[in-house]
Amino acid sequence: MAIPPVLSDPRFSDLPARLQSVHARMDEACALYGRPAGTVQLLCVSKTQPAAAIRAAHALGERHFGENYVQEALDKMTELADLQPPPIWHLIGPLQANKTRVVAEAFDWVHSVDRLRIAERLSNQRPAERAPLQVCLQVNISGEDSKHGVSPQDCLDLANSVAALPRLRLRGLMAIPAPAEGFEAQRQAHRQLAALMHALNTQGLQLDTLSMGMSADLEAAVAEGAHWVRIGTALFGARPG
């Protein structure tokens, strides 16, 4: 089989090995913590990476890509419009109200909904011909002033309101916990998010997705029930300056 030209680019010469390593970490964590194969998915965090990096990962079989910045993502979508099957685009960064229309039109997932106003705009602006937009609520699980996200105590009210919106499908919760030293400390925040989703489901919601875990704490997130792990550095290396 011919090597896709993008994989001949020296910038991405180590990408196959990096990708294999990340998947091996995921598989090993699943086996160690009793997670069935296939229950944890890789979200390739491609923010600030060139479109060619996404093209290379796509050539290696990846389909899900996470972006933080709306305009950067839209530019990449245009440049990569020829890819088949099309990439599945996830917004994982904060979303301002003035960007909801283009996000509703262009993205497949939004992991960072933390206000009802944003959710209502996304639902109202989601094109009728597209499937409902898949969304997660971002929870400020560590209570940091610098972090976006709904507080755990306000999550139930927001979840009930978002679940009722017609052009959205509320899938679950996302968090970016404060950095923690040591495996058990890393597990604690992820355990809190998992417990919160369980509590919401006991109140009648039907959530099935935990978006948690990054390059440094992938294993801790898998141990506590992550369904998406958002991996950037371990896959693409350090972000370009």
Q: Please report whether residue 235 resides in a domain.
A: no
Mean per-residue pLDDT of the chain: 95
Return d(Cα 66, Cα 102) in angstroms, integer: 16
Q: Give CA 153 to chain center in angstroms.
A: 23
Question: Within 13 A of 28's CA, how many CA atoms are on the CB side?
Answer: 9
Domain-embedded: residue 23? yes
Q: Can you say how many angstroms the Cα of residue 179 is from the centroid of all Cα atoms in its chain?
A: 18
Domain annotation covers residue 5: no
Q: CA–CA distance from 122 to each of 100, 165, 203 (Å)?
A: 6, 9, 24
Query: Per-residue pLDDT tens for 93-108?
Result: 999 999 999 999 999 9
Give tens-digit pLDDT for 147-167: 899 999 999 999 999 999 999
Q: Answer whether residue 134 is part of any domain.
A: yes
For the chain, where are the E strands, in sequence order? 41-45, 64-67, 88-91, 109-113, 133-138, 168-174, 209-211, 228-231
Residue 120 lies in a domain: yes
Count of domains in the chain?
A: 1
What is the per-residue pLDDT across 43-84, written as a single tens digit (0 to 9) for each? 999 999 999 999 999 999 999 999 999 999 999 999 999 999
The answer to whether residue 164 sits within a structural domain is yes
The range of the structural domain enclosing residue 196 comes to: 14-209+220-230
Give me the CATH number covering residue 166.
Answer: 3.20.20.10
